[in-house]
Chains A and B, each alone.
Chain A
Amino acid sequence: MHLIGKQSRRAFLRHSAALSGLSLAPLGLSLGGIGAASAQSMGDFKALVCIFLNGGNDSHNMVVPYDDRSYASYATNRAGVGVAHDQLTATTLTSPSVRDGRQFALHPNMTDLKGLYDQNKVAIIGNTGLLSYPVTNRTQLQSGAVETPLYVGSHPDQVVNLLSAGPEQQNGTGWGGRMGDLLQSMNSGPTSICMSTAGSNSMETGESVLPISVGSDGIASFSYLNQIFDFGNPAGTAAFKALQREQPTNLIDKEWLATVKRSMDGSVILSSALAAQPAMSTVFEGNNSLASQLQVVARLIAVKSRLMQRRQIYFVQFSNFDHHGGLIDDHPRKMGQLSRAMASFYQATVELGVANQVTAFTTSDFGRTLTPNGGGGGSDHGWGAHHLVMGGAVKGGDIYGNIPEPILDTALDWGGGMTIPGVSTEEYYAPMASWMGVSSTDMQTVLPNIGRFARPNLGFMT
């Protein structure tokens, strides 16, 4: 069997864009205004990119203790799955990351991000994660004095709660979507402010905003009938369109048709905007799923004027971080891919002249246990985790929040080095929401529980 390869698919899409008279959709949508977009001031443009590390990234090996005392504890408690000390020299982070005599290094494969950290374009947020309320000692949770978040350690529940940062299970919205609700009016184009290269997610649905999923060339358009089946006879295409306009009573039918409508409406706009954009010179490495998704994001940022968007919120996903095994062989490879993909993305924003207007940040299901498991060189589901924020508007070259000592049975150890977070998810997101333009009075709409925490702004954004 012969699937159309990437190259020919691109050519095919260009072809289909050229044949826009024949294409299916957009129903009742005018493209007339797009040319005028360049006249609009785009000086206020900002984009926020969520890089979701699906599975629970082991951040103990991403931000590694380096000073002798901390490293000795780390080596003891990682017991064979840690990074060797002499591998860390090149990625050791310089002052002001030194605190109380402690030093840290990025994973040895993250030399690109180490460079950006040195240029103050990357910040580290230490030990962040889901909390119901602030916790200073595990006894507060054990006694019930402070509510423990539900289902700590469960992938799907932590992902939903962490990405939604609020009552997702009640109303289905996520913090990106709620932020989109507030900011959507800054965009005059019809494309959703929330875009995803990874399909549905718990972050980007708002009360009114629905995210749109994009592929490598925008959104594919239904091509079988008008491109393959019969160029000459429009009967099939007309019937297909009629089927999409039906008014079924079944709710799944309705949801399907709504998705198809968003797809058809979005396809021509996104695909034609992308097709008209000259190629970037920034190179994203191949065989790197995250790099190719971030390249799509960079291209969509590049066409912000054609899309008439002054705010964009993106969700991209890098999968298979559930390292119950493979911490020694697979995780290092992923750290390198993450570093190179993020660095290329930063370079692309420089090329596009928007480096100070684009912020990317990582998040993940949870951190992992400090201690390894008895299976195959891995670690188990943890809680707090370290994360990265990158961009010209980030006050980088520093660590925000605390990175607990790599020792067991501390006041914040939930067992096996499963750390109770010191920075809540809300405290992590709020500075970025604020940077995007969410006012302090609106912050509670975006992050309903922000009022429970003392630090609405950790100060890592300019």
Chain B
Amino acid sequence: MKPGVNMSVECIATRRSEISRDRVRSALWTSLAASLLAMAGCGGGSSKSAPATTATASIAASAPATVAVESLPSLDAKPTPVEASRLLAQATMGATANDVSSLSNSSINAWLDDQFNKPFVSLVEAMVAADPTALGATGETGPYQSAQWEQSIRGPDQLRQRARLALSQILVVSGSNGALNVRPVFVESHFDTLGRHAFGNYRDMLQESILNPGMAMFLSYLANERDYPGNPRHPDENLAREVMQLFTIGLVQLNADGTPKHDASGKTIPTYDQDTVRGMAKVFTGWAFSPLDAKTPYGFSGFPAEDSRRYFARPLISWPAHHSPSEKKLLDGVVIPAGGSAESDMKIALDQLFNHPNTGPFIGKQLIQRMVTSNPSPAYVARISAVFANNGKGVRGDLKAVFRAILTDPEARSAKVAQGESFGRLRDPIFRFTNLARGANMQVPGGGLGFIPNLGDTDTAFGQSLMYAPTVFGFSRPGFAPKSFLAKGLVAPEMQNASEETVVKVSDQVGHIIHSTDGVGRFCCNEFPKPEISRWSAMADQPVTLVDDMNTIFTGGAMSATTAQTISTALLELGTDQQDWRLKRAQLALYLTLNSTAYLTQK
């Protein structure tokens, strides 16, 4: 027998015995141990911040049999600050010193419970309250973008904010769309929909999203007209495709672990064909604004101009005369008979999609990718699929249970897994902004975030903003893989936006924001918030302590000893001659930390 094989068995045995106190997690570990070994190696891992040094096989073969084996801390115990920071990076818009401190004096379960109980706050209601007399759907996008940033960065319901951002990459409505750019109320109402149902049921969120006027404008099915015999005009197929391809089942049949199924000749198996697209297009005909209480009467394809903003946030209603009376081919030979109503047809179609075996792995894997890691193991995906299928109480699609399962999964929580070469996800530009805004408590004089504009237009260096994806496909394709990843069967979705040009622009923008603590430069003005870095100025005479603090807050302890030393040495070399040397050291430490790979890949 080869020594490596022998070693692996011992490791598994050791792991099992060490965690036997926790029966639930032990069961998970039994299935997980082999994949953990494959991903991170059995040996090593004695220190919280030491990165994995090499890949698995050689280490496993040569490591002594007595190496320390990681046991996951109980979710009901106090996590270390580094463990707390890792969870906060996955579950919030950015860790703060206060959050790390507070969570490390509580427990992950208690924190999750608290977050799940935070009430939902409606942005549309805030918008209406700010100007109750405002009529019409049109308006400037800027103030709403700023209000989204305010909720996302400063909202106490951070888990909801992060979950919503992940969901907004699946059920996409974007202010970058020309029609929506001038009608921000529709984008805000979808932002509300995602937040309102983030801890509810996916079936409810799906239907409310589809009946959202913003989605209907974005995917061009607002006032989607029925088919008429002899008329070449056909029902719009935009939503018909995307409700399958993006919102529920995807293009190919999946196993519960998210891997594609193959037919006898080894090919993937499509989930639907063009006939299904055409049938589904007929399903979603006849939906438009509600005329019942509009201030001014209008027809099916009319646009009610004069009404309160609250009105525009209401769901679409069906106009029976405009709904296709034809039969509709759905998936797998299911046909909706002719003559159904818009409501009953939609119910049949959405129920079929929601209950399709693909939907759990398809949605669950993407949520993992957006929050934890680009390349979850099939076993991790399968565990989330199982929770999507049944939350333990017989309910399918319970997102609260799904998010809890994603964040408490051993693969998400294991510090050893995090050191594997394929673990983690590149932080999108949005996070490079919100992590800084939260971690450095950015604010304007007198408090608050002031005005944060849309950071997603072409000329702004971040190139990304909330609810501002370039297309219905979100910021990046979940399956995007740089060439070097393809051969390994790995993906790195967020790398799709990391070009030679953008890596510089975002980095410089981060620098300019940090530099605004000088009160000069690109972000000079009071309307844009500034980082508050006195916490680190106060540590400036102890560079090692300063860097360690940033390592805990921003990188979840992922910084290598080399990186930490590079940064602390640079701080020393800045000297103390300048009057503002403390500020300079804090600025430089922050810039270098936020441009280290320890930070850039959330691990």
Contacts and interface: CB of A to CB of B under 8 A. Distances in A.
A153 B424 contact: no
A161 to B, nearest CB: 13
Given A371-B232, A374-B225, A171 B504 contact: no
Interface stretch (B17-25, B62-70, B97-105, B494-502): B494-502
B146 to A, nearest CB: 11
Interface stretch (B183-191, B401-409, B587-595): B587-595
B485 A251 contact: yes
Interface stretch (B87-95, B148-156, B342-350, B469-477): B469-477
A375 B270 contact: no
Interface stretch (A91-99, A232-240, A301-309): A232-240
Interface in A201-223: 205, 210, 212-215, 219-223
B129 interface: no
A231 interface: no
A259 B483 contact: no
Interface in A221-279: 221-225, 228-230, 233, 235-236, 238-240, 242-243, 246, 248-260, 262-263, 266-267
Contacts of B315: none
B574 interface: yes
A458 interface: no
B373 to A, nearest CB: 10
Given A213-B499, A249-B51, A252-B374, A324 B219 contact: yes
Interface in B504-561: 504-505, 507-508, 510-512, 515, 521-525, 527-528, 560
Interface in A322-343: 322, 324-326, 330
A220 B566 contact: no
Interface in A356-384: 369-376, 378, 380-381
A445 interface: no
A36 interface: no
Interface string B467-495: 00011010001001111111110101001
Nearest to A322: B471
Contact of B569 (A199, A225, A239, A370): A239
B425 to A, nearest CB: 7
A222 B569 CA distance: 21
A242 B499 contact: no
B459 interface: yes
A250 B570 contact: no
B223 interface: yes
Given A152-B274, A156-B477, A172-B486, A369 B234 contact: yes
Contacts of A380: 234, 236-238, 281
A257 B598 CA distance: 12
A370 to B, nearest CB: 8
B204 interface: no
Interface stretch (A63-71, A387-395, A408-416, A433-441): A408-416
B396 interface: no
Nearest to B450: A1
Given A1-B453, A374-B225, A219 B421 contact: no
Interface in A131-180: 150-157, 169-173
Contacts of A258: 484
B275 to A, nearest CB: 9
Contacts of A371: 232-234
A248 B601 CA distance: 11
A76 interface: yes
Contacts of B268: 150
Contact of B501 (A6, A199, A289, A415): A199
A380 B274 CA distance: 12
A319 interface: yes
B31 interface: no
A4 interface: yes
Q: Give the residue among A246, A266, A324 with the most B Cβ atoms within 10 A.
A: A324
B601 A252 contact: yes
B433 interface: no
A415 B232 CA distance: 11
Nearest to B492: A252
B220 A250 contact: no
A200 interface: yes
A246 B238 contact: no
A220 B505 CA distance: 7
A242 B528 CA distance: 32
Contacts of A76: 232
Contacts of A259: 495, 498-500, 503
Q: Give the residue among A243, A262, A330, A378 with the most B Cβ atoms within 10 A.
A: A243
A259 B601 CA distance: 14
Contact of A2 (B238, B426, B522, B571): B522
A375 B220 contact: yes
Contact of A375 (B221, B507, B524): B221
A426 to B, nearest CB: 21
A228 B521 contact: yes
Q: Give the residue among A196, A210, A235 with the most B Cβ atoms within 10 A.
A: A235
A243 B54 CA distance: 19
Contact of A374 (B227, B592, B601): B227
A27 interface: no
Q: Give the residue among A78, A80, A214, A260 with the most B Cβ atoms within 10 A.
A: A260
B224 A374 contact: yes
Q: Give the residue among A76, A219, A266 with the most B Cβ atoms within 10 A.
A: A219
Given A1-B523, A210-B483, A223-B508, A374 B573 contact: no
A79 interface: yes
Interface in B384-426: 419, 421-426
A151 B460 CA distance: 35
A236 B570 contact: yes
B473 A156 contact: yes
A236 B234 contact: no
B133 interface: no
Nearest to B600: A256
B235 interface: yes
B371 interface: no
Contacts of A266: 500
B482 A255 contact: yes
A77 interface: yes
Nearest to A55: B471
A125 to B, nearest CB: 25
A39 interface: no
Interface string B264-307: 00001010001001100100010000000000000000000000
B470 A319 contact: yes
A263 B562 contact: no
A184 B325 CA distance: 59
B574 A235 contact: yes
Contacts of A250: 51, 421-424, 597, 601, 603
A2 B281 CA distance: 46
Given A154-B251, A205-B483, A374-B226, A252 B502 contact: no
Contacts of A172: 481-483, 485-487
A212 B500 contact: yes
B237 A373 contact: yes
A402 to B, nearest CB: 22
B563 interface: yes
Interface in B37-76: 51-55
Interface of A: 1-4, 6, 55, 76-80, 150-157, 169-173, 196, 199-200, 205, 210, 212-215, 219-225, 228-230, 233, 235-236, 238-240, 242-243, 246, 248-260, 262-263, 266-267, 289, 319-320, 322, 324-326, 330, 369-376, 378, 380-381, 408, 414-418
15 contacts: A3-B459, A3-B522, A153-B241, A215-B501, A219-B504, A220-B505, A229-B588, A236-B591, A243-B595, A249-B53, A252-B495, A257-B597, A259-B495, A263-B501, A374-B226
Given A199-B499, A229-B587, 13 more contacts: A155-B471, A171-B487, A196-B499, A220-B508, A239-B566, A252-B601, A255-B485, A256-B600, A267-B500, A267-B504, A373-B235, A375-B235, A408-B232
Which 5 residue pairs across A and B have the least CB separation, nearest first?
A224-B511, A374-B225, A213-B499, A375-B236, A239-B570
